[in-house]
Amino acid sequence: MGASLADPGSNGQRPYRFDFGDGPAEPSYIGVRAGDAYTPERRYGFNTPEHMANVAAGGTGVGSDAVRFLEFGTKSANTFNVDLEPGLYRVSVTLGNTARASVAAEGVYQVMNMTGNGATDAFEIPVTDGQLNLLVTEGKAGTAFTLSALEIKRISRHPVLSPTIWVGGDSTVASYYPLATSVQGGWGQLLPDHVNPHAFQVRNIATGGQIARGFRDGGQLETILQYSKEGDLFLLEMGINDTNPKNETTEAQFKEIMRDMVRQVAATGARPVLVTPQGRATDFNADGVHSSVNRWYRHATLAVAAEEGVPVVDLNVLASAYFTRIGPAATLALYMAGDTLHPNRAGAAELARLVADDLERQGIVPAAAR
């Protein structure tokens, strides 16, 4: 434990691997305990180790132990710091035991609401100031935010993100874990399977229960504004939770918040694309036609798109046409059991296909081989 960090190879491609907690480090990993403070000589460590704790974890290997962040928040100084040469890095994260936690780095969210013990995910991040500053932070109040392992690999000497499709939305869009085998799914999670990977990476920043105001003001939009650039896309689907009376958002208020986000993202050079939410599985009439055109503040979303001159993927109508074609029983099979709102993995895949197909039809993204 506590060894100094060796210099990377001349091509910068050898990854750094960190195994957190007070158990023995796995082979090829650098062991890091909660009390290991950052020093310039070591080149990694916790900025405020007094706010860290070693904890057990329910997995095996690197997942058998972890460190817990006792102070957290995207702007918290209680970070794990690693000195890195400038460049673009891929960071793979393995959490310890946690109900729901997000990963932040460089003061903004990177991965939203990872769920389940030992959850894993990865993200690209440009490092320009010689150091990565990362922490696990709040996804759900009152739960533990723990980190079992990190792998950090430089993928380019140029600290610029690949062309990116940023996705914002709610629980019908969000990612669920394990990413490759989750029962529930969001279309943002499955979208990478339907987009040409040589043209775009997909970064899904959607979260369950989210409303337009919360996405704008709670830190998720901040991530997109920090990193988005010309050539990127921003797909934004909101409205389902905004229409819930408890969220106290009128349609007029919703419309102006959506307009504000469109304008802020457009100012970065990225291209906003608005998406309308699909309806419920049960939105069939007596003739077997599915329609939900009056749900979820859809008309306000269409109005913002028209007034701001941005494209819209009317997933509400696209999904209804698909549901009508396959019928009520097959439609219900694309939703979670006993739930007419949230798609399962198969349903999310179909919605992602519909979104990608319409983006291609409009010439917004190139065709994907699928």
10-residue mean pLDDT profile of the chain (370 residues): values are 51 81 97 98 98 97 97 97 98 96 98 96 98 94 93 97 98 98 98 96 98 98 98 98 97 98 98 98 98 98 98 98 98 98 98 98 84
Annotated catalytic residue, options 64, 102, 148, 171: 171
The domain defined by 164-361 folds into Rossmann fold (3.40.50)
* Torsion angle in degrees (nearest 10) through CA of 42, 47, 49, 54: -80
| 65 contacts 148 by C-beta, under 8 angstroms | yes
Whether 64 is a known active-site residue: answer no
Neighbour count for residue 84 (Cβ, 10 Å): 23
Give the model's pLDDT for residue 12.
Answer: 47
Stretch (H or E) spanning 332? helix 328-332
Domain boundaries of the chain, sorted by first residue: 16-156, 164-361
Annotated catalytic residue, options 51, 194, 290, 342: 342
Beta-carbon contacts of 320 under 8 Å, excluding residues fewer than 6 positions away, are: 278, 279, 283, 289, 290, 291, 292, 293
Q: Given 3-state DSSP classes, what are the helix, strand and coil percentages for the chain, each rounded to the nearest 5?
A: 25, 30, 45
For helices 220-227 and 251-266, the axis angle rounded to 10 degrees is 20
Summarised one tens digit per residue, pLDDT across range 294-324 is 999 999 999 999 999 999 999 999 999 999 9
| 52 contacts 35 by C-beta, under 8 angstroms | yes
Summarised one tens digit per residue, pLDDT across range 190-234 is 999 999 999 999 999 999 999 999 999 999 999 999 999 999 999
Amino acid present at 64: S
The model carries a pTM of 0.95
| 258 contacts 236 by C-beta, under 8 angstroms | yes
Integer CA distances (angstroms), 187 to 17, 34, 106, 175, 295, in order: 31, 37, 27, 8, 18
How far does Cα 65 stand from its chain's mean position?
Answer: 25
Annotated catalytic residue, options 7, 129, 217, 339: 339
Give the model's pLDDT for residue 139.
Answer: 84
**Where would I find the beta strands (DSSP E) of the chain?**
16-20, 30-32, 44-46, 52-56, 65-69, 80-83, 87-95, 100-105, 108-115, 120-127, 131-138, 146-156, 164-168, 201-204, 233-237, 271-275, 312-313
Whether 7 is a known active-site residue: answer no
Tokens of residue 317, six digits: 């109508």
Tokens of residue 333, six digits: 């099979």
Integer CA distances (angstroms), 266 to 140, 151, 229, 252, in order: 31, 33, 9, 21
DSSP of 217-259, one letter per residue? Answer: HSSHHHHHHHH--TT-EEEEE--TTTTSGGG---HHHHHHHHH
The domain defined by 16-156 folds into Jelly Rolls (2.60.120)
Residue whose C-alpha is closest to residue 325's, from 345, 343, 350, 344: 350
Residue whose C-alpha is closest to residue 93's, from 60, 59, 63, 48: 63
Give the model's pLDDT for residue 4.
Answer: 61
* Overall size of the chain counted in residues: 370
Give the model's pLDDT for residue 8.
Answer: 43
In the block, tokens 């939105």 appear at 283
Give the model's pLDDT for residue 142.
Answer: 82
| 198 contacts 365 by C-beta, under 8 angstroms | no
Beta-carbon contacts of 334 under 8 Å, excluding residues fewer than 6 positions away, are: 281, 343, 344, 346, 347, 350
Three-class SS of residue 87? strand
Whether 156 is a known active-site residue: answer no
Three-class SS of residue 279? coil
